[in-house]
Amino acid sequence: MTQINSVNYSSALLDVVIIGGGLVGGLTALLLAQGGVQATVLDAAPILDEEKTLAVANPRVLALSQATIHLLKTVDVWDNIARQMPYTGMQVWNKNGYGEINFGYASEQFPTAEQSLGSMVEPSVLNLAIQHKMLEQLRDYRTQVKVIRVEQGVNCWIIKLADGTELKTKLVIGADGANSFVRDQAFIDFDILDYKQAGLTCAIRTAQPHQYMARQIFHPTGPLAFLPMASLNSDQAEHWISIVWTLPDDYADEFAELDDADFCQLLTHESHHMLGEVLEATSRAKFPLKARAAQRYVKNGLALIGDAAHVIHPLAGQGVNIGCLDAAILCDVLLHDLKRGVWAHEQTLKRYEHQRKGQNDAMMHSMSTIGFIESTELFPLVWARNFALKQVEKQPFLKDQFMAQANGLSSLKATRYAV
Ligand SMILES: Cc1cc2nc3c(=O)[nH]c(=O)nc-3n(C[C@H](O)[C@H](O)[C@H](O)COP(=O)(O)OP(=O)(O)OC[C@H]3O[C@@H](n4cnc5c(N)ncnc54)[C@H](O)[C@@H]3O)c2cc1C
């Protein structure tokens, strides 16, 4: 086991242990540290090798909302992200219909922060920046840790590690992703919806530049997203795109096996030549798509955040964004009550659950419904979706509502992290 910045706390009762130091767990630890609370962070993964991480293009990017970017700025991570690609517009349309909706605009120049709607960042490049900041700011951050048990004791939780270490804490935060061990150990049930689909992702180079626009076509088989991504070198910098192609499992298996030339040809055709020919495709990867929703987010002295609490369909690119909002709301209620001398009380944790679960469940259901409606060929639904897209396109007010929902800033309004 590698221990980094580790203090021997074995006999002490810790204030908080975060299990999972990915983007959501890491952000939580940094927001707490800023509020004067040092968390112990345990992560199964190793510290990333900077040179190796930056030398390859990830097969996928995360579309980060303005709220997530604001939170990353708050903890001084944003400016240390090695590469990212802002976008100024979004275009969504149906393959077999006339419905189309546009947000923002295409840009010829690299956008300023004020012009961009959000930014595309590769997960490993983001994790690298988060890890560096945790190493700098946290006193007890341990990587390559195997947690073998999480159990409730008297007024505390006991965490057992494979090397025999036992930690006692007043609060456990489960930020350990979709297959959360913490969730299982706390006997928190979850609902699961298997879409029987996979997300096929890869980095591609196109003949025409992306003009800082994210594009998504709804095919009967599922959406195909073209997301502008930062390139590894300045040559053809505006021609690199990350695709997320949602497909039924058997199609995804077949397309994943195609040789590069056939795959590029297929993508050129399925994207309606929107950026001309697809010239190159690298780093293909496949992710099974399943929605998961924990039936509760909290128990006495324990909270779930991020994918440990909810996994949603990637078509809206919101998974990590709603996880970062969980982190902000949880830290806000914890730090608010700490000022009154109360730490991680049951009522404090319930306020977090109350503020996040309804919103996250609603987002999850709407993504599942859109996924169904957009991939159906049933005539009334095809008509309804085209009509709905056209109506929204004609109504600036509705489009503003959509954007306000997507940028996440309204969820931070009543918190210490308000913009
Ligand atoms: C194809 C695809 C495209 C996506 N696109 C977007 C997008 O555009 N925008 C967006 O917002 N979201 C997107 N998402 C969702 C996003 O990737 C997730 O929501 C996000 O990674 C969840 O972050 P997390 O920190 O909760 O979990 P994770 O990123 O899974 O991190 C979990 C951490 O916990 C650690 N861990 C796991 N188990 C243990 C254990 N037992 N003990 C200790 N540590 C442990 C891991 O090492 C890891 O560091 C996409 C997802 C997919 C599949």
The finding on whether 327 has its CB within 6 A of some atom of ligand 1 is: no
Task: Compute, in angstroms, the gap from residue 123 CA to the centroid of ligand 1.
Answer: 9
Mutate to test the pocket of ligand 1, among 62, 287, 315 (most ligand atoms within 8 A of CB): 62
* Alpha helices for 64-176 (secondary structure H): 66-74, 123-137
Q: How many Å apart are CA 110 and CA 22, to the nearest integer?
A: 29
Locate the domains of the chain by residue range.
2-51+125-192+291-376, 53-123+195-290
- The per-residue pLDDT for 236 is 80
**CATH tag for 2-51+125-192+291-376 (out of 3.30.750.200, 3.50.50.60, 3.30.450.20, 3.40.630.30):** 3.50.50.60
Q: Which two tokens stand for residue 401?
A: 């509502």
Ligand 1, atom 14, lies closest to the CA of 319
The finding on whether 20 has its CB within 6 A of some atom of ligand 1 is: yes
CA 91 to chain CA centroid, nearest Å: 21
250 class by beta-carbon count within 10 Å (0-12 exposed, 13-18 middle, 19+ buried): exposed
Task: Compute, in angstroms, the gap from residue 290 CA to the centroid of ligand 1.
Answer: 13
Q: How many Å apart are CA 59 and CA 67, to the nearest integer?
A: 24
The finding on whether 363 has its CB within 6 A of some atom of ligand 1 is: no
Helix axis angle, 319-338 relative to 346-375, nearest 10°?
170
The finding on whether 45 has its CB within 6 A of some atom of ligand 1 is: yes
Helix (H) or strand (E) holding 181: helix 181-185
Q: What is the pTM of this model?
A: 0.92
Contact 170, 16 (CB under 8 A): yes
Task: Compute, in angstroms, the gap from residue 95 CA to the centroid of ligand 1.
Answer: 30
Contact 364, 64 (CB under 8 A): no
Q: How many Å apart are CA 68 and CA 121, to the nearest integer?
A: 12
233 class by beta-carbon count within 10 Å (0-12 exposed, 13-18 middle, 19+ buried): exposed
Task: Compute, in angstroms, the gap from residue 176 CA to the centroid of ligand 1.
Answer: 8
Ligand 1, atom 48, lies closest to the CA of 22
What does the DSSP assignment read for 266-298? HHHHHTTTBTB-EEEEEEEEEEEEEEEEES-SE
Contact 67, 409 (CB under 8 A): yes
**CATH tag for 53-123+195-290 (out of 3.80.30.20, 3.40.50.300, 1.10.3720.10, 3.30.9.10):** 3.30.9.10
Ligand 1, atom 51, lies closest to the CA of 314
The finding on whether 293 has its CB within 6 A of some atom of ligand 1 is: no
Q: Which two tokens stand for residue 237?
A: 């910098």
Q: What is the pLDDT along the chain (419 residues), one digit of tens a residue?
A: 444 455 444 568 999 999 999 999 999 999 999 999 999 999 999 999 999 999 988 888 999 999 999 999 999 999 999 999 999 998 888 777 666 788 888 999 999 988 899 999 999 999 999 999 999 999 999 999 999 999 999 999 999 999 999 999 999 999 999 999 999 999 999 998 888 899 999 999 999 999 999 998 988 888 899 999 998 777 788 999 999 999 999 999 999 999 999 999 999 999 989 999 999 998 789 999 888 999 999 999 999 999 999 998 877 778 999 999 999 999 999 999 999 999 999 999 999 999 999 989 887 776 666 555 555 554 555 555 555 666 666 666 666 666 666 788 999 999 999 99
Q: Which two tokens stand for residue 324?
A: 């970062």
Q: Across the strands, what pairs with 224?
A: 217, 245
Nearest of 5, 138, 95 to residue 375 by alpha carbon: 95
Ligand 1, atom 53, lies closest to the CA of 287
